[in-house]
A and B are shown apart, each in its own frame.
Chain A
Amino acid sequence: MLAFAARRLAQIVPMLLLVTVAVFLAIQIAPYDVVDSITTPQMSAETIAMWRDRYGLDDPIAVQYLRWLGQVLQGDLGYSLASRHSIAADLAQRLPNTVLLVLPAYVTALLLAIGLGLLAAARHQKLSDRLIDAANAFGLAMPPFWFALLLIYLFGYYLNWFPIIGMHAVGDRGLGDLLRHLVMPYLVLTAAFYPELARYVRSSAITQLGEDYVTVQRAFGATEPEIFRRHVSRNVLLPVVTQIGVALPMLVTGAVITETIFSWPGVGSYFLQAARAMDYPVILAVLLLSATLVMLGNLLADILYVVVDPRVRLGQVAP
């Protein structure tokens, strides 16, 4: 297990390098750069050239990349070129905000999906199953931003129950105020995460119910609730556990659109601002973080699979 984890961790380094190279090249392809996004019509051509020179944007791509890489390898994520804030400090401030939003939404969505997915499978082809399945399909087809706009109209404008922007009202750092701000983006994200998970739970439970061992259990006098509780739900939930690993990167980039709509000061909206400004150190820092979590998450999923499923063992590398 340890050797497996070590081997996989070693693979992460070259993968991350590849990711940063690809992102760096993609940024260079864009027809404008970060200086274009901070210039104003009043600036003289000399000033603009001075900024370009100061940021090293006129150097060859390879030089720029290696300079950035050298910094990062020393543990310095650098400064935002647009705001000149420390990226590490910005992330440290914004990451908890995103986690505060994404984590409860994901957990809610997962629990709802498990409950409703199993219920639907138990009532397969009956009315409640059809309703749940139709709602899942609708949820899957529904863009989160559209749902966000509906919520904003109903709860933010028409009923005026919840604030529509930000995390805190000006001058109010209280928990109640924070929760009031959290409600709508939380609902949007829950609705965004839920359908796919629910469909997964439902379809795997239906598959399990068709397995031979379920027939055998019936033959041995197990009641349907017993079969569900003692066999099917466990077999369905094992792979769901591994979803937790795959969902890890969501903690950083799970809510880009939702955060932007609600001006939630998290990593997602930070990333989107940076992308608009071609603020490449920020873009790279966020993607580096997210890519690391993707890989760690996959590793975690693989390890969880071995832990929960007795049939799976970590083999040696295939010859």
Chain B
Amino acid sequence: MTADLLRLQGLTVDLPHAGGWRRVLDHVDYRVAAGAAVAVVGESGSGKTMLMRSCLGLLPPGARWTWDAAEIDGVDRTRPGAPRPPVAMVFQDPMTSLNPVRRVGYHLAEVIRRTGGTDRRDVRDLATATLAQVGIGDPARRYRQYPHELSGGMRQRVMIAMALLARPKLLLADEPTTALDVTVQAQILDLIAELRATAGLTVVLVTHDLGIVAGTCDRIAVMRAGQIVEEGDVDQIFYDPAHPYTRLLLAARPGARAGLPGGEVTA
């Protein structure tokens, strides 16, 4: 049994809402084993994204959050002055994730400088090498380009390159393919899977699309209304879902009735 890379216990988040509070995460316990690839699924507003953002302390202004335990890589995140956790995040919309008036290279170089290297030439070499690693052709040219000169899939690759340069152990991918078209989706998911193997990453993939989970992840956590309602191995979730909501989610997949796994379950 490997150690947990991420351990959250009793995480509760409230957001200010119409003069009161709205609970977006309700006593969530969540663990991710080192080296695993796990998925968090659920409908919009179920708290998936908030769960990921909590890991990085990126909650909206005014949010109120409490927890019993929050550990990343064995470091208690709640301790004052705790070092930055080795976590990087890839976001949903690559079109808006990069500063439009800064070059691709500027974004990458910034991350490199923050994690160490200072020599100007080293920075560019490392950045272009990483661009090549995430499958971007002609990286030297891309390095000098502005985000709007790149396609959506290309920008998401740049985001992944930024994430890699932050040298994380845990990669949080928050619906990384939602904004991309289908063929590009597959490429990005393949890339993430490949990097998981080559860079030894632990990956949490957040999605509302169960179709992309089966091939990429070992475990699934199903979220609804701020709680994890079911968690288990991919096979168990697909073939023997315990929670009625999980069955609903599975039935909601396109083609679910056509006899794909879970297809015989109807709402």
The residues of A with any CB-CB pair to B shorter than 8 Å are 211-213, 215-222, 230-231, 234-235, 238, 309-311
- Chain B residues within an 8 Å CB radius of A220: 88, 110-111, 114, 162, 166
Chain A contact surface mostly: helix
Residue tally, chain B, CB below 8 Å to A: 23
A/B interface sample: 12 pairs, CB < 8 A: A213-B97, A213-B99, A218-B58, A219-B56, A220-B111, A220-B114, A220-B162, A230-B110, A231-B99, A231-B102, A234-B101, A310-B146
| A238 vs B56: C-alpha distance when bound (angstroms) | 31
> B103: nearest residue on chain A (CB-CB)?
A310
Task: Return the chain A residue nearest B162 by Cβ.
Answer: A220
Chain B residues with CB under 8 Å of A221's CB are 84, 114, 166
Q: How far is the CA of A213 from the CA of B107 in the complex (A)?
A: 10
Q: Judge whether B84 and A212 touch: CB under 8 Å.
A: no
Residue in A212, A218, A234 with the greatest tally of chain B CB atoms within 10 Å: A212
On whether A219 and B89 interact (CB within 8 A), knowing A238-B101, A310-B146, A311-B146, the answer reads yes
Give the number of A-B contacts (CB < 8 Å): 55
Minimum CB–CB distance from A57 to chain B (whole Å) comes to: 57
* Residue-wise interface mask of B (146-174) relative to A, using a CB-CB cutoff of 8 A (1 in contact, 0 not): 10100000000001001000100000000
B163 (CB) vs chain A CBs: closest residue: A220
| Chain A proximity mask over B80-98: 1 for CB below 8 Å, otherwise 0 | 0000100011010100111
> Considering the chains assembled together, what is the distance between the CA atoms of A215 and B172 in angstroms?
14
- Give A238 to B100 CA distance when docked, in angstroms: 12
Cross-chain contact B93 with A212 (CB below 8 angstroms):
yes
Q: A220-B114, A221-B84 are in contact. Are A310 and B96 (CB under 8 A)?
A: no
CA distance in complex: A211, B98 (Å): 10
Contacts of B103 in A (CB 8 A): 310
- Considering the chains assembled together, what is the distance between the CA atoms of A235 and B98 in angstroms? 12
Grouping DSSP codes into helix (H, G, I), strand (E, B) and loop, the B interface class, with mixed when no group exceeds half, is: loop
Interface residues of B (CB under 8 A from A): 56, 58, 84, 88-89, 91, 93, 96-103, 110-111, 114, 146, 148, 159, 162, 166
With a cutoff of 8 Å between Cβ atoms, the chain A residues found around residue B100 in the complex are: 213, 235, 310-311
- CA distance in complex: A20, B135 (Å): 61
B77 shortest CB reach to chain A, Å? 14
Our pick among B56, B111, B114, B148 for the contact of A310 (Cβ within 8 Å) is: B148
Report A213 CB to chain B, min CB distance, Å. 5
**6 closest Cβ pairs, A-B complex:** A212-B96, A310-B146, A213-B99, A219-B89, A216-B97, A231-B99
Asked if A222 and B110 sit within 8 Å, CB to CB, the answer is yes
Q: Determine the residue in chain B with the shortest Cβ distance to A234.
A: B101
Supply 9 further A-B pairs (C-beta < 8 A) apart from A212-B93, A216-B91, A219-B58. Answer: A213-B100, A215-B58, A215-B91, A219-B56, A220-B111, A221-B166, A222-B114, A235-B100, A238-B101
Cα(A311)–Cα(B150), bound, Å: 12
The complex places the Cα of A281 from the Cα of B145 at a distance, in Å, of 54
Taking CB as reference atom, which chain B residue is nearest A208? B99
Interface centre among A213, A216, A222, A309 (most CB of B within 10 A): A216
Per a CB cutoff under 8 Å, which of A218, A219, A235, A309 touches B99? A235
| A222 cross-chain contacts in B, Cβ below 8 A | 110, 114
Which residues in A have their C-beta under 8 angstroms from that of B148?
A: 310-311
The smallest C-beta distance from A231 to any residue of chain B, in angstroms, reads 5
Report the Cα distance A234→B159, complex, angstroms. Answer: 21
Least Cβ distance of B174 to chain A in Å? 10
Bound Cα distance from A216 to B166, whole angstroms? 12
Most buried by B among A218, A219, A221, A311: A219
Are the CB atoms of B96 and A309 closer together than 8 Å?
A: no
What residues of chain A lie closer than 8 Å to B99, measured between beta carbons? 213, 217, 231, 235
Most chain A CB inside 10 Å of its own CB: which residue of B97, B146, B148: B97
Residue among B88, B99, B146 with most chain A CB within 10 A: B99
Closest to A238 in B: B101
Shortest CB distance B179–A (Å): 11
Distance between A113 CB and nearest chain B CB, rounded to angstroms: 20
Chain B residues with Cβ below 8 Å from A212 are 91, 93, 96-97
* A247 to B101 alpha-carbon distance, docked (Å): 24
Q: Which residues of A contact B98 (CB under 8 A)?
A: 213, 216
Cα-based distance from A219 to B146 in the complex (angstroms)? 21
Query: What are the residues of chain B within 8 A of A215 when measuring CB–CB?
Result: 58, 91
